[in-house]
Amino acid sequence: MQRWNRKKTHFPALASLFVVLLVCSILYIERSIQQIDEDPDHHHHHSHQHNQEVPSVTYVKPNRDRSANRDPEVLDRYSRCNSTRKYSGRKIRWVDPKVESSQRRQSLESCDVFSGKWVFDNVSYPLYQESSCPYMSDQLACHKHGRSNLGYQYWRWQPHNCNLKRWNVTEMWEKLRGKRLMFVGDSLNRGQWISMVCMLQSVIPADKRSMTPNAHLTIFSAEEYNATVEFLWAPLLVESNSDDPVNHRLDERIIRPDSVLKHSSKWGHADILVFNTYLWWRQGPVKLSWSDEEHGICEELDGLGAMELAMGAWADWVASEADHHKKQVFFITMSPTHLWSREWQPGSEGNCYNEKAPIEDAGYWGSGSDIPTMQMVERVLSTVSSKVSVLNITHLSDYRRDGHPSIYRKFWETLSPEQLANPSSYSDCIHWCLPGVPDVWNELLFHFL
């Protein structure tokens, strides 16, 4: 050190400055690399982050008590982001539930009822007639809207090594006696709710049943059983600007990623909960409006990353508030789409239009069943596995290219002559005809209740 100090006195001033800058640069680079290596989430950032600057990860507890926080402005379809900045890296840290033994949930996989094949059965199916259900949706009533081939109604799901419990409407009502069954989610979950109502309503006298008008929460009531079957519109699970059940077609999706308060204040009172979310996260980037942000400042994140944040806030509610001795919670995995016929018929350029039978290839897996999303959902659900039963409807539904409304439904927008000349261009290959595939989802629910 002394020798270096002696030599330093003979350096020109410019050389001395160069050495100092070089040393500082090396130290800065080493420190940056060390910070990246120590970041446990560095390898889990989503593909939307291509800049060189890695946001520092901070963990945010979901906002479950507004009395303890600044009351944020409620999001609705008129909400806007005054400014948008890049995603800061904040993540939801949800409560880690205690590992509790649950014979009911452990026994769910004694036979894998989600692995099997579709069997044509025009004796036992359909479980109800489309025209006999007064609560049928025009979005799902395919026969009413011109579909003449009714083969989609006659397929039964047959697990490989066991049988599904046979549907019994009276037994189901006894399971629901004195209880509230609530479906929470998007239009696909609403379809499953309508399916359940149609499967149940026939044994209830007309003067002993009622349906509230379509709203954020819609309720079918059966007086004799003191029971309700309800649907709560919450397509993104967390609070969002898309929470109006009718007017939710917006150019910009804004969510409150750390708050389920708006919806949980309603779903928290149900005895049996059936959740879903998926489709709306595939429609491009999502704006994040955190509960503690003011002045309309938003962050932007890709759909998968935003969905993971929302699932985290939901999981926090489940872990903290859902006593599995009093409440049964189910999560429905993603409902697949059939938008590209080339996936099951190489060389074709259509979609689900004019498909009349299920896919027979047992190993088929379409792009409508997004594997990264499935993996993320599985990771989140594993943290609340003692409190949530998973109904994995994805693969079994993936075979059912024939089960969608296609062109046989009511379309609220006017179709152009060009569309009408090309049916594939406006076919609905997302939702499901009723009676049909969602009835099987409800048979699975009945099997596990």
The alpha carbon torsion through 68, 304, 245, 426 (nearest 10 deg) reads 170
C-alpha span between 449 and 434 (Å, rounded): 22
Distance between CA atoms of 228 and 183, rounded to whole angstroms? 11
Non-local (6+) Cβ contacts of 148 within 8 A are none
Which among 63, 162, 148, 144 has a CA at the least distance from the CA of 107? 162
Instruction: Tell me if residue 187 is catalytic.
Output: yes
Q: 275, 185 in Cβ contact below 8 A?
A: yes
Amino acid identity at 411: F
Q: Which residues contact 357 (CB under 8 A, 6 or more apart)?
A: 151, 402
Under 8 Å between Cβ of 255 and 246: no
Question: Catalytic one among 258, 370, 398, 428?
Answer: 428
Query: Residue length, the chain?
Result: 449
Mode of pairing for the β-strands spanning 209-211 and 217-222:
antiparallel
Q: How far apart are CA 314 and CA 306, in angstroms?
A: 13
Q: How many CA atoms does the CB half-sphere of 386 hold within 13 Å?
A: 11
Task: Output b/e per residue, 198-223; b: 16+ Cβ within 10 A.
Answer: bbbbeebeeeebeeeeeeebbbbbbe
Phi, psi of 22 (to 5 degrees): -65, -45
Cα(304)–Cα(376) distance, rounded to whole angstroms?
8
Question: Is 431 tagged catalytic?
Answer: yes
| Nearest-angstrom CA–CA distance, 428 and 447 | 29
Rounded distance between C-alpha atoms, residue 52 and residue 39, angstroms: 15
CB-based contact 430:279 (threshold 8 Å): yes
Find the catalytic residue in 187, 242, 289, 341: 187
Q: Any bridge partners for residue 227, and if so which?
A: 222
Active site residue 428: yes
Query: Known catalytic residues?
Result: 187, 428, 431
